[in-house]
Structure 1
Amino acid sequence: MSNNSGKTILALAAGAAIGAGVGILFAPDKGSKTRVKIKDGYKDAEKDLKKKFDKLSEEVKTKISSKKVDLEGSYEDLLSNMSYKTEDVISFLEIKLSELKDKNAKLQK
Structure 2
Amino acid sequence: MANNVGNTLLAVVGGAAIGAALGILFAPDSGDKTRKKIKDGYKDLQKDLKSKLVNAKVDLEQTYEELLSNMSYKTEDVISFLETKLADLKEQNAKLQK
Q: Structures share a fold, TM > 0.5? A: yes
5+ residue gaps, structure 2, are none
Q: Quick check: 41-50 or 59-68, which moved more?
A: 59-68
Instruction: State percent identity of aligned pairs.
Output: 43
Q: Distance in 2 between matches of 1:3 and 1:75?
A: 29
Q: Distance in 2 between matches of 1:63 and 1:93?
A: 44
Q: Looking at both structures, which has the greater relative contact order when contacts are Cα pairs under 8 Å and sequence separation is at least 6?
A: 2
Q: Say whether residues 1:40 and 2:40 are aligned partners.
A: yes
Which residue in the other structure is 2:92 paired with? Answer: 92
Q: Say whether residues 1:58 and 2:58 are aligned partners.
A: yes
Structural mapping, 1:67-106, within 5 Å: 67-98=67-98
Q: Say whether residues 1:17 and 2:17 are aligned partners.
A: yes
Q: Distance in 2 between matches of 1:80 and 1:8?
A: 43
CA RMSD of aligned residues (A): 1.7
- Give the match's secondary structure for 2:29: coil
5+ residue gaps, structure 1, are 99-109
* Amino acid in structure 2 at the alignment position of 1:37: K
Report the TM-score when normalising by structure 2: 0.83
Q: Distance in 2 between matches of 1:43 and 1:3?
A: 25
Q: Per-residue displacement from partner, 1:35-84 (whole Å, max 9, x unpaired)?
A: 22211101101111121222122122212211211110110111111112
* Amino acid in structure 2 at the alignment position of 1:27: A
Q: Distance in 2 between matches of 1:67 and 1:45?
A: 32
Say how many residue pairs are matched.
Answer: 98
Which structure is larger by alpha-carbon Rg, 1 or 2?
A: 1
How far is 1:86 from its partner? Answer: 0.9
